[in-house]
Amino acid sequence: MYVEPEGIDLPAVRAVSAAGIALHPVPEGSLRKVLDLVTPQSVVAVAAIPEASMRIVMESAVQLQVPVLVLVELQDPGNVGTLVRIAEAAGCAGVIITERSVDLFNPKTVRATAGSIFRLPVVQGADVHEVVELCRSTGVATLATVASGIAAAGGAATVDDAPLSGSVAILLGSEAHGLPAEVIQGCDGGVSIPMEGEVESLNAAVAGAVVAFEAARQRRVRARSLGDSAADTSHNV
């Protein structure tokens, strides 16, 4: 970790030092010369790139009965980083980023994750068709996010009616073109977000947030329902 004088007494820096991580003091203004930010913070760290397994992410989704976000050819680093952050906040098992997407370790992407990139399994460079096949073999349902009126192989439901409470891969398409037609047709079904006015679509990160947090809401409802059922059974014993 490299620290300018202004950051040497920050609580996080003291904690890092106490954990035995080496600190390298540098002169004030040094980090601005080597980083891509105009006004960087006074601390920067070098970290190993984390690795994740797509199969382990899927198996975790099945075990925990939670979703996986699959980002298909997204190009905006802010959107991708924000979706990684959303996935952690909404309790997803992980994120899978397909080929022809922005680099996960683009500095803007990393910053947009706000640290989630170090806590949540994220796989990049996956082939979308292999992702769908792995979902099928591991028992993870696949739902394509689509605009209202676009047909999906298994039918499209609105986000409030879509089956999101278990292990499901939520596929989000690129900002410009959405999901390819053959990917939509290869999924078990589709999910759309009802909108009013003349708005045709939402920002990719916003759409992902709506669906991911609806999945979290459905899990809470399911958990309460199971808890109520268990309580009723115990009262009848």
> Mean pLDDT over residues 181-207, rounded?
90
DSSP state of 128: H
Question: Residue 1 above 60 pLDDT?
Answer: yes
Quick one: 24 and 61 in the same domain?
Answer: no
- Partners of 96 in the β-ladder: 70, 123
Please, which residues bridge with residue 97 across strands? 71, 124
Q: In the structure, what pLDDT confidence band is assigned to residue 228 with cuts at 50, 70 and 90?
A: low
pLDDT in tens, 163-191: 999 999 999 999 888 999 999 999 999 99
Task: Give pTM, 2 decimals.
Answer: 0.86
**209 pLDDT more than 80:** yes
The reported pLDDT for the residue numbered 163 is 92
**Is the pLDDT assigned to residue 154 strictly greater than 70?**
no
* Same domain assignment for residues 7 and 105: no
Better-predicted residue by pLDDT, 45 or 188: 188
Per-residue model confidence (pLDDT) at position 151: 54
Confidence of residue 195 (pLDDT cuts 50, 70, 90): confident
Beta bridge partners of 180: none
Provide long-range contacts, Cβ within 8 A and 24+ apart, for 134-139. Answer: 134/54, 134/55, 134/58, 135/58, 135/169, 138/55, 138/58, 138/59, 138/61, 138/62, 139/62, 139/167
CA-CA distance, 96 to 59, in Å (whole number)? Answer: 13
Domain with 31 in it: 2-44
| 231 has a pLDDT exceeding 80 | no
Tokens of 122: 């994220």
Q: Are residues 110 and 219 in the same domain?
A: yes
Residue 230 is assigned to a structural domain of this protein? no
Whether residue 100 is found in the same domain as residue 31: no
pLDDT band at 93 (very low <50, low <70, confident <90, very high): very high
The pLDDT value recorded for residue 235 is: 55
Does residue 58 share a domain with residue 36? no
Q: Which of 59, 107, 60 is nearest to 80 (CA)?
A: 107
Instruction: Give tens-digit pLDDT for 72-92.
Output: 999 999 999 999 999 999 999
Q: Do 89 and 9 fall into the same domain?
A: no
Q: Kindly tell me if the per-residue pLDDT of 109 is higher than 90.
A: yes
pLDDT grade, residue 236 (50/70/90)?
A: low
Cβ-based neighbour number of residue 52 at 10 Å = 15
Count of domains for the chain: 2
Helices 128-138 & 54-64, crossing angle to 10 degrees?
40
235 is a domain residue: no
Coil, strand or helix at 120:
coil
Please check whether residues 166 and 70 belong to one and the same domain: yes
Report DSSP state, residue 220.
H
pLDDT for residue 46: 85
Write out pLDDT tens, residues 55-71: 999 999 999 999 999 99
| Same domain (yes/no): 105, 181 | yes
Cα distance between residue 59 and residue 140, in whole Å: 9
**Which class for 147: exposed (0-12), middle (13-18), buried (19 or more C-beta within 10 A)?**
middle
Q: Are residues 118 and 213 in the same domain?
A: yes
- Going by C-beta distance under 8 Å and a sequence separation of 6 or more, which residues neighbour residue 17? 23
Residue 147 has pLDDT above 90, yes or no: no
**Do 108 and 168 lie in a common domain?**
yes
Share of the chain above pLDDT 90, in %: 69
Q: How far apart are CA 204 and CA 85, in angstroms?
A: 13
Task: For residue 237, tell me if it sits in a domain.
Answer: no
